[in-house]
Amino acid sequence: MSSPQGKTCLALEGLCWGYAPKLRLGPLSLKLRAGEHVAVLGPNGAGKTTLLRTLVGDLEPLAGKVEISGEALETLSPPQRARRVALLAQNPQLDLELTVRELVALGRTPHLGLWGREGRSDLEAVDRALTRCDLHALALRPLGALSGGERQRARLAMTLAQGAQLLLLDEPTTHLDLRRRHELFSLLSELGQQGLTLVSVLHEPAEAFREATRVLLLGADGGHEVAKDDPERRDLLAAAYAVPVERITL
C-alpha cells in the first residue's frame, strides 16, 4: 500500500488548476515524500477541493504537471490512477441501502480482475479497513441507519481499502465528534509512519498545524507553504481569510 519512506510520492511543478477560462489558480510547485502529511488551508473559493480533484485525475491541469512516484498522472490509466491515489470526497451520493461492509468493499474495485470477483487479499483489505475505523460492529448495518459521523467513518474505511499510496482527504473531520476526530488524526499519524502520503483539506488552522507535518495555504497568490514555526503564521492566515489576527487560534 505504501511507498518507502523518504522517496518522493507526489511532485507538482508549476501546477495551475481550476475551470478555464474564468477561474485559474496557481502556479504551485510542491514535493511530498512518502509518509508526509500536508494540510491544505484557505478560505472558501480558494480552490482546495478543485486541487484535490486535479491531483486524483478527475480534472486536467490547466498548466504544469503532476507526478505520482515519478510517473506523470496523465500517462496512467484510470485503474492505474485508482491504485495509486484515493480520494475521500465531500458529500458524495451514496446508496443508503448498502451495508457498511459493502461500501468498504467498493474500495477494492481497482484491484478486481476481469470478472470482478474478490480474492483473499481483497477480503483482508476490507477487514483491515473496518478494524482501523472501528466499524466491525456496524459492518452489516445499512448506511441509511447510521449517524453522519458513522457514515463518514465508513467512507474513510472505503478509501483506506483502496490501498493507494497517496490519500487525499477533503474535510475528513466532517460530522466527527471530538473523540472520533482524535481517533482520525491518530490513524493518519499511524498511516504516515507506515509510509502513506496524505493531503487533507482542513478548516481549523490549529488542527492543521498540530496534526500535519506541513501546511499549505491557498489564497490569491495560488498557494504557498507556511512553516509550522513561522512566527508570522497567524498574520499570514489572517490576511488569507480576511479576518482580524486575534481571530486566529493556533
Q: Where are the domains of the chain?
A: 8-247
User: pLDDT by residue for the chain (250 residues), tens digit each?
Assistant: 334 556 999 999 999 999 877 778 989 999 999 999 999 999 998 999 999 999 999 999 999 999 999 999 999 999 999 999 999 999 888 999 999 999 999 999 999 866 668 889 999 999 999 999 999 999 999 999 999 999 999 999 999 999 999 999 999 999 999 999 999 999 999 999 999 999 999 999 999 999 999 999 998 777 899 999 999 999 999 999 999 999 999 9
Question: What integer pLDDT is reported at residue 109 of this predicted model?
Answer: 93
Question: What integer pLDDT is reported at residue 1 of this predicted model?
Answer: 39
Question: What integer pLDDT is reported at residue 5 of this predicted model?
Answer: 57
Span 7-17, pLDDT tens digits: 999 999 999 99
Q: Is the pTM above the cut of 0.85? A: yes
Assign domain 8-247 to a CATH class. Answer: alpha beta
Question: What integer pLDDT is reported at residue 139 of this predicted model?
Answer: 98
pLDDT averaged over every residue in the chain: 93
Question: What integer pLDDT is reported at residue 218 of this predicted model?
Answer: 95
Question: What integer pLDDT is reported at residue 223 of this predicted model?
Answer: 86
Question: What integer pLDDT is reported at residue 3 of this predicted model?
Answer: 44
All three cell numbers of 227, joined, read: 512553516
Question: What integer pLDDT is reported at residue 2 of this predicted model?
Answer: 39
Question: What integer pLDDT is reported at residue 92 of this predicted model?
Answer: 82
C-alpha–C-alpha distance, residues 160 and 132, integer Å: 9
